[in-house]
Amino acid sequence: MINLPHLSGNSFLLGLSSEKLEEFALQEGEKAFRGRQIYEWIYQKGVKDLDSITVLPKQWRDSLQSKGIKIGRLEKINRVVAEDSTLKLLMGTLDGEIIETVGIPTDKRLTVCVSSQIGCPMGCRFCATGKGGLNRSLDVNEIVDQVISIRETMNRKPTHVVFMGMGEPLLNIRNVLDSIKCLTNEVGIGQRKITVSTVGIPNTLPNLAKLAQERLGRVKFTLAVSLHAPNQHLRELIIPSASSYPINSLLKDCKQYIELTGRRVSFEYILLGGLNDQDIHAEQLANLMRGFQSHVNLIAYNPIAEENFERPSKYRVNRFRELLEKRGTAVSVRASRGRDKDAACGQLRRQEIDKMKIK
C-alpha cells in the first residue's frame, strides 16, 4: 500500500520513485506502465497537474482528481533576479503558506538553496527567517519542487543543492533524507553535490548518520554545521538555542558523525563586524578545529532590518582567513550573491507577507 504525502485533504505524487509510481498504478487497478508514464511526465516534462498528462486515460485522471490526488507542484508567486543573475523564487503552498528558494549560477554550476521548513524555530539573531517563528515542516514534494522550479525558471539543470534556506533541516530530517533520495535518483543530482546545513540539535548527529545510512545506503552528502562563534558565550549571544547545546558537546557529536560516516564536516562561520571577526576569535576557532577532518566556510554577514549587526570589512574577512590558514585550518570565503535583492534568507518572504497584511 503506497502512502502518499498529503496536505489539506490532498495527496501528492511528486517525490515518488518510478517503482513506487508503478505500485501506485497497480493499486489503482491500472497497468504498471501507467506509473512509468506519470514518472516521465513529472520528472522529465515537468507537468504541474494531472490533466496535462494526456497519455493517461481521462476517466482515470478524473478519478484521481476526485480523490484529491495531485502532482504536488507549488505556485510561483514572485521572482526576483539580482544583478549577478542570482534568482530568488517565492512560491505558495496548497495551504496558503509562502516559501522561498534561490538559484545561484556560475559558469560551471547552478546551486539551488532550498528551504526545509516554513519559518524556523531556532531564532538565530542574524537570520530573518527565524523572526517569525515556525509554521510547519515541508513535505518531500514541496522540497523537491523547489529544485524543479529553479530548473524550469532558469532553463538550466541544477548541479548542486544546499539545504541552507528557511528552516532547520534536522527538525525535518526524514523528509529531508527522502528528498535527497529523490533528488539523487529521480532528478539526477549526485548525493556528493548535496549539502545539509544545521545549527545543531542535541542528540541528533549520531542518529542522523544511522538514519541516513538506512534510508540512503552509503552517506555521501556533506554535513555543514553553523558554528558562527569560537566559544560558548559568544555562540549563545548569536544563537539563543546554543544555551541547551554546549559547543564542546556539538563538536564531540560532529566527531562521532565523522567516525560513523567517513565524511568530513564543514563548519559555517558568519562574520559579524566587530563581534566575532577579531584576531582572538580566529585563534580560538583554529584551536577548536585542530585534529578535525573539517573545512571552514567564512561568510560575510548580509544585514537585516531587525538587527544592528554590521557587515565586516574586506580587510577583516581576509585577515580572519589568513589567521586560520596559518594555523593549519582548511578555509574558504563564500562570495556573497544577490545582495542587491534581499539576499539574506527569509527577507523576501517577510516582505511578501507584510504586503499581504496591508492588503
Q: CA-CA distance, 314 to 31, in Å (whole number)?
A: 62
| AA identity, residue 329 | T
Cβ distance 329 to 286 under 8 Å?
yes
| AA identity, residue 209 | A
| Helix (H), strand (E) counts: the chain | 11, 15
| Grid cell locating 186 | 529521480
Give the per-residue SS3 of 49-85: CHHHCCCCCHHHHHHHHHCCEECCCCEEEEEEECCCC
Which helix (H) or strand (E) segment holds residue 107: the answer is none
315: Cβ contacts below 8 Å, ≥ 6 apart: none
If you count them, how many residues does the chain have? 359
Q: CA-CA distance, 263 to 176, in Å (whole number)?
A: 18
Query: Is 345 a residue of the active site?
Result: yes
Query: Is 100 a residue of the active site?
Result: yes
- Which residue in the list 22, 30, 97, 100 is annotated as catalytic? 100
Q: In what order do the strands lie in the sheet with 69-70?
A: 6-7, 10-12, 69-70
| AA identity, residue 359 | K
Cβ distance 116 to 168 under 8 Å?
yes
Query: Residue 136's beta-bridge partner residues?
Result: 118
- The residues carrying an active-site annotation are 100, 345
